[in-house]
């Protein structure tokens, strides 16, 4: 049987996935894409649970999502995801939510696989089925932004304490939880005014339960560069929000 090089499913925007406007939120879109990736990975035999049995763990390195519009509660969407041909230690995966009028949101994520026993990155092509024919479809996002830690005239938004509800099966802060934490520093009025069109997140270091992360923001010409900083001063996550 031919392996599915693209996963496609119908998706209804649930109330639990909606923001204060009753629409699919930014954080919820990140979470949806992460779930879609694992659903397809399961069909290919490289889902998180399967890899954990081998002492391996998927790591999200970077994610970039572009929002064309916000889907409303109960709206029916077509959801798609597919991996691109991997390099030795990195692989990209694409995502698309769309309706009859075209894309609602598109995303791209760079992944790596950690060998938990050795602490080194694993060879990714050897993990995928050897007969998988990679899909050549592309999204509007061709590359990832280079983001530096905010410096100079920055806004110190406060701190976020990592709790048990943020922790994933790798015992560090879940990827989507970082996005939720960043957005939570802004008020409803600020988020409404921002009208986020794109968000890029670069994962630099792991945060763990009990860590207190400082939030730094630098604004410039419709962009916000954000950093969640570990207690030692190093960034756990860098993000750029395009408004």
pLDDT at residue number 170: 83
Tell the residue number behind the tokens 């410039």, with chain if given.
Answer: 220
Whole-number Å distance between alpha carbons of 2 and 106: 26
Strands (E), the chain: 7-12, 56-67, 76-83, 91-99, 102-115, 120-121, 155-161, 198-203, 212-220, 223-229, 235-242
Bridge-based pairing state of the strands 76-83 and 212-220: unpaired
- pTM, two decimals, is 0.94
Domain edges within the chain:
7-121, 155-242
- Provide the percentage of residues in the chain whose pLDDT is more than 90: 88
Whole-number Å distance between alpha carbons of 121 and 124: 9
Q: Put residue 178 in one of left, alpha, beta given phi > 0 → left and psi -120 to 50 → alpha.
A: alpha
Average pLDDT over residues 158-173: 94
pLDDT at residue number 169: 85
Same topology, domains 7-121 and 155-242? Answer is yes
Q: Write down the architecture of domain 7-121 according to CATH.
A: Roll (3.10)
Give 146 or 2, the one with higher predicted confidence.
146
Is 33's pLDDT higher than 60? yes
Average pLDDT over residues 196-211: 97
pLDDT at residue number 120: 94
pLDDT at residue number 2: 62
Locate 134 and state its tokens: 């990679």
Is 174's pLDDT higher than 60? yes
Q: What is the mean pLDDT of the chain?
A: 94
Angle between helices 26-44 and 175-183 in degrees, nearest 10: 170
CATH number of 155-242: 3.10.129.10
């Amino acid at each position: 049987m031919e392996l599915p090089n693209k996963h496609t499913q119908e998706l209804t925007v649930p109330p639990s996935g909606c923001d204060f406007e009753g629409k699919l939120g930014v954080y919820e879109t990140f979470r949806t894409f992460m779930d879609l990736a694992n659903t397809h990975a399961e069909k290919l035999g490289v889902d998180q649970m399967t890899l954990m049995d081998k002492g391996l763990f998927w790591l999200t390195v970077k994610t970039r999502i572009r929002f064309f519009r916000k889907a409303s509660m109960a709206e029916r969407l077509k959801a798609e995801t597919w991996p691109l041909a991997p390099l030795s230690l990195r692989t990209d995966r694409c995502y698309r939510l769309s309706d009859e009028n075209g894309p609602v949101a598109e995303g791209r994520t760079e992944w790596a696989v950690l060998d938990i026993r050795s602490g080194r990155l694993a060879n990714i092509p050897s993990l995928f089925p050897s007969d998988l024919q990679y899909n050549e479809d592309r999204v509007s996002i061709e590359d990832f932004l280079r983001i530096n830690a905010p410096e100079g005239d920055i806004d110190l938004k406060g701190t976020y304490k990592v709790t048990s509800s943020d922790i994933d099966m790798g015992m560090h802060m879940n990827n989507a939880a970082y996005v939720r934490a960043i957005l939570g520093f802004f008020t409803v009025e600020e988020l409404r005014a921002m009208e986020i069109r794109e968000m890029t997140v670069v994962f630099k270091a792991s945060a763990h339960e009990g860590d207190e992360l400082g939030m730094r923001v630098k604004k410039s010409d419709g962009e916000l560069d954000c950093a969640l900083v570990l207690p030692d001063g190093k960034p756990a996550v860098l993000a750029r929000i395009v408004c």
